[in-house]
């Protein structure tokens, strides 16, 4: 299997014979030379989108959120859809780096750094939305419980306050986790630095790492602790985001299934997004021997599994509505499926439930075009899932006299595009400035790396196993 790919790419190297230096060379390669034209084109595209998004956000803040399509009764729309979507994207990173780490799943090593970085970028992108979504974003700090001379406290009953804590914790822990994991690699980069500027920057960032035994011991303890801290966050963040909806009284929101449903959906969309980006990156930077077909296969299995969970949630929502025999609940489900936004429901259901079903076939799981298509479809479907939950629940709730329709404006679409611009700009900058794959962890898997039984990773790197097949 891998043979086919390596033949096509013509870049295969035998990693079991690779030296530590070769690993470093391969992974650090993208940072060593002036980027090629394709990178610049990609950066220009995503950078323009990002700037478009930023200028539209500036326009929003200076004029008012009335430049969006939000209205009464759809008080939340695109920005919150985007927020939940991006927060969800981040979940794959934490799941891969923390939970799979704790479960000793060595195949994660090749993709963990990348997924973590995507988590950070996704959370950064997501975190913008609650701020610009406010009517008076210049007062955003009021949602923090800080001591003030008026002695006004935040409302701890509000799920939005929980959100503030959940997301800031999530971001902080993810960033620390990512950064701590980067330290040995940064030191390696320092050693390789060609210019003084590079050396100084990497020196500062690597915190004086010299590879002493003490350093390694502290590093591994810290990494383990942070992995332990991150693990509950995988569950808690999207659970709390789902509380924004689940604790309300609105039909379609007021459901106890929302927390697990949101977490499954988040992992689902996160894996899809990691897949979409990784497929491109591994191709562009010739990392097929590190991020192998087996990795992708595993990820596709996760996509399939979480897709089934999400599908179950969709079905159980319909069942619950019928079982409740509440007029408003039944109407809500019927309105989702047959109402004016039926197409959003169809899009959601077919992208999220039907499309991943191809992954029952191992051939599909190992076909780049198929998995790429599915991952993109899942991304689209998961965005629409949030649209369905938010917009179609709000636009028709209890009193038909207040019902309305929602239509996004160009500003809404521009900010959505801008959020992708921001995310991909950060990704592009990341791949040029930091090792996208953990050199340390790859090297730890090389033969001879482990001199004794060690608490960290198993001796054998699965990527190598596969390459030997």
Q: Determine the interface stretch with another protein among 99-107, 140-148, 298-306, 424-432 (rule: CB under 8 A).
A: 140-148
Instruction: Give the x/- contact pattern for another protein in 91-110, rule: CB under 8 A.
Output: --------------------
Position 410 contacts another protein (CB under 8 A): no
Q: Determine the interface stretch with another protein among 133-141, 261-269, 302-310, 368-376 (rule: CB under 8 A).
A: 133-141
Position 402 contacts another protein (CB under 8 A): yes
Q: Output the six-digit token pair for 163.
A: 């959100």
Range 319-358, binding another protein (CB under 8 A)? 327-328, 331
Instruction: Please state, as a whole number, how many other Cβ atoms lie within 10 Å of the Cβ of residue 257.
Output: 15
Query: Which one of 108, 336, 396, 443 is in contact with another protein (CB under 8 A)?
Result: 396
Position 76 contacts another protein (CB under 8 A): yes
Q: Which residue has the tokens 């803040």?
A: 61
Q: Do residues 424 and 46 touch, judged by C-beta distance below 8 A?
A: yes
Query: Which one of 135, 147, 369, 448 is in contact with another protein (CB under 8 A)?
Result: 135
Q: Do residues 438 and 179 touch, judged by C-beta distance below 8 A?
A: no
Position 149 contacts another protein (CB under 8 A): no
Position 169 contacts another protein (CB under 8 A): no
Q: Which is nearer to another protein, 34 or 249 (CB)?
A: 249
Instruction: Give the x/- contact pattern for another protein in 206-245, rule: CB under 8 A.
Output: --------------------------------------x-
Q: Output the six-digit token pair for 283.
A: 């191709």
Q: Which is nearer to another protein, 271 or 331 (CB)?
A: 331
- Distance in Å, CB of 409 to another protein, minimum: 9
Query: Which one of 11, 17, 55, 153 is in contact with another protein (CB under 8 A)?
Result: 153
Q: Do residues 279 and 98 touch, judged by C-beta distance below 8 A?
A: no
Cβ neighbors of 443 (< 8 A, separation 6 or more) are: 20, 23, 24, 449
- Distance in Å, CB of 145 to another protein, minimum: 10
Q: Which is nearer to another protein, 69 or 93 (CB)?
A: 69
DSSP string, 7-69: HHHT----GGG--HHHHHHHHHHHHHS---HHHHHHHHHHHHHHHHHHHHHHHHHHH-GGGSS
> What CA–CA distance (Å, rounded) separates 466 from 298?
13
> What CA–CA distance (Å, rounded) separates 198 from 27?
17
Q: Output the six-digit token pair for 222.
A: 């810290």
Q: Do residues 123 and 174 touch, judged by C-beta distance below 8 A?
A: yes
Q: Output the six-digit token pair for 346.
A: 């169809």
Binding site for another protein (CB under 8 A): 63-67, 69-76, 130, 133-137, 139-140, 142-143, 152-155, 157-161, 164, 244, 247-250, 327-328, 331, 394, 396-405
């Amino acid at each position: 299997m891998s043979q086919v790919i390596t033949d096509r790419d013509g870049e295969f190297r035998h990693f079991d014979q690779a030296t530590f230096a070769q690993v470093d060379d391969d992974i650090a390669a993208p940072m060593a030379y002036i980027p090629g034209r394709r990178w610049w084109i990609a950066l220009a595209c995503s950078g323009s989108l990002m700037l478009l998004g930023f200028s539209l956000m500036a326009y929003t803040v200076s004029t008012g959120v009335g430049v969006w399509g939000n209205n009464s009764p759809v008080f939340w729309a695109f920005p919150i859809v985007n927020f939940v979507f991006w927060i969800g994207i981040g979940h794959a990173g934490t799941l891969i780096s923390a939970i799979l780490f704790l479960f000793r799943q060595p195949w994660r090593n090749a993709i963990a750094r990348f997924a973590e970085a995507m988590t950070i970028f996704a959370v950064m992108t997501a975190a913008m939305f609650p701020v610009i979504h406010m009517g008076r974003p210049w007062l955003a700090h009021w949602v923090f419980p800080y001591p003030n001379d008026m002695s006004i406290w935040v409302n701890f009953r509000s799920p939005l306050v929980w959100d503030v804590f959940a997301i800031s914790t999530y971001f902080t822990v993810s960033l620390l986790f990512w950064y701590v994991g980067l330290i040995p690699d940064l030191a390696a980069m320092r050693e390789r630095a060609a210019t003084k500027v590079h050396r100084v920057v990497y020196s500062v960032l690597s915190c004086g790492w010299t590879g002493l035994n003490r350093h390694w011991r502290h590093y591994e303890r810290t990494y383990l602790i942070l992995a332990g801290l991150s693990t509950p966050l995988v569950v808690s963040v999207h659970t709390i985001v789902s509380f924004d909806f689940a604790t309300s009284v609105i039909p379609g929101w007021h459901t106890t299934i929302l927390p697990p449903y949101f977490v499954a959906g988040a992992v689902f969309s996160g894996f899809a997004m990691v897949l979409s980006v990784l497929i491109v990156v591994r191709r562009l930077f010739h990392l097929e021997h590190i991020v192998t077909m087996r990795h992708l296969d595993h990820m596709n299995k996760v996509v399939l599994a979480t897709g089934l969970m999400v599908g179950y949630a969709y079905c159980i929502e319909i069942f619950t509505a019928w079982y409740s025999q509440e007029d408003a609940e039944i109407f809500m489900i019927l309105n989702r499926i047959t109402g004016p936004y039926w197409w959003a429901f169809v899009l959601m259901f077919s992208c999220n439930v039907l499309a991943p079903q191809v992954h029952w076939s191992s051939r599909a799981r190992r076909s780049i075009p198929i998995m790429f298509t599915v991952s993109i479809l899942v991304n689209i479907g998961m965005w629409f899932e949030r649209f369905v939950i938010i917009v179609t629940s709000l636009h028709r709730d209890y009193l038909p006299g207040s019902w309305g329709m929602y239509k996004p404006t160009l500003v809404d679409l521009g900010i959505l595009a801008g959020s992708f611009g921001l995310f991909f700009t950060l990704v592009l900058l990341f791949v040029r400035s930091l090792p996208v794959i953990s050199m340390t962890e790859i090297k730890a898997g090389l033969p001879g790396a482990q001199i004794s039984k060690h608490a960290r990773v198993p001796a054998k790197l699965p990527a190598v196993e596969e390459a030997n097949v």
